[in-house]
Amino acid sequence: MELERHADERDFKLLENDRYTFAVLSRILPGSCSVTLTDHERFILCHSVAPYPVWLWTPDDLSGSEKQRAWETADSVCPLASGFSYNLKYDLADFFIAKASEQGINVRVITNMFAYDCPAPIAPTHPAEGHLYRCTEEDIDTVADMILAFHESVGDARFDPPTCRQIAAGHIAGHFYFWKNAEGEIVACCSFHPSGDLASVGSVYTAPAHRRKHYAQQMVYEVTRLIAKSGLTPMLYTDADYAASNACYEKIGYVLRGKLCTIKAE
C-alpha cells in the first residue's frame, strides 16, 4: 500500500459512498492537517489537530491483510497508546481493539455515532419561545464559554479555555448561533459547517437551567431551515446511546443514514 501525504479528487470520490458518516473528513481533508495519508483507493487517514480525533476511512470489504496494514500505518503515525482517538467503521474498530490488546493496551469504544440528514425539516409540535441569533466577533467570550460548557457536558476534558476561544473564533467566522428566550437570555447554542452540498450541524448545547423547554429542538429546526433554504442538505452526528437526543432530531425530520464509532485507549 503506497501512501501519499496529499489528498486529491480521487479521495473525495471515494468518500461519496459514505458522504454522511464521513462528512467531517470531507470537510477537513482539504485543509492544513497535521497528518494526511492516502492510497486514493482503500485507505484515507487524516488528523486535523489535537485534541480532535483521527479520521480513518476504509471501504466495507477490507481483507485481513488490509486491516493489518491499516493498523500498522495508523499505529506508526497516530498511535492509540499515545492518546490519539479514532473515528472509524465498526469492523475495523474491532480489529484495532484486538491488536491493541495484544500490546497490553485497553482500547474501547467511547462513542457510538449516528449520522443523519434532513431531506425536509418538520416544524416542532411544541414550539419554544424566543428567537435565533447569529453570533458576531463581539460574542467571542460567550461563545467560548458555551463551547467549553458543551465539551465539559460530554466529559471531554481535553478542551481548555484557550482552545475553546480559538474554536469560537473559527465558528464565528462561519455560522454560530445562540437561542435567546423571551427574556433575551442566552439559553442554547449550535453551529453549522458547509462542505460541498452538505452542511453539518454541531455544538448543540442547552444550559442546564434551561433544559426540557424544547429550546434545542427549536434552535436546530430553525438552523436546519436556514441550511435548506441555502440549497444545502442539513446533516448532523449524534451519540447513538442518547435516545432522547436522537428522538428530538427525528421529530424535526432527520433520517438515520450511517453509523461509526470513536475508539480510545483507557
Out of 76-85, 117-126, 158-167, 250-259, least confident range? 158-167
214 Ramachandran zone, left/alpha/beta (phi>0; psi -120 to 50): left
Residue 199 and residue 186 in contact, taking contact as beta carbons nearer than 8 Å: no
Sign of CA dihedral 58, 59, 60, 66: negative
What integer is the mean pLDDT of 28-45? 96
pLDDT in tens, 76-134: 999 999 999 999 999 999 999 999 999 999 999 999 999 999 999 999 999 999 999 99
The residue extents of the domains of the chain are 9-105, 131-257
Q: What is the CATH number of domain 131-257?
A: 3.40.630.30
Q: Name the residue among 110, 107, 55 with its Cα closest to residue 86.
A: 55
Whether this model's pTM surpasses 0.85: yes
Dig out the grid coordinates for 158 from the structure. 481535553
Dig out the grid coordinates for 150 from the structure. 458543551
DSSP-assigned letters across all residues of 88-151: E-HHHHHHHHHHHHHTT--EEEEEEEEEEE-SS----SSPPSSEEEE--GGGHHHHHHHHHHHH
Q: For residue 199, what is the enclosing H or E element?
A: strand 198-206
What's the mean pLDDT when you consider all of the chain? Answer: 95
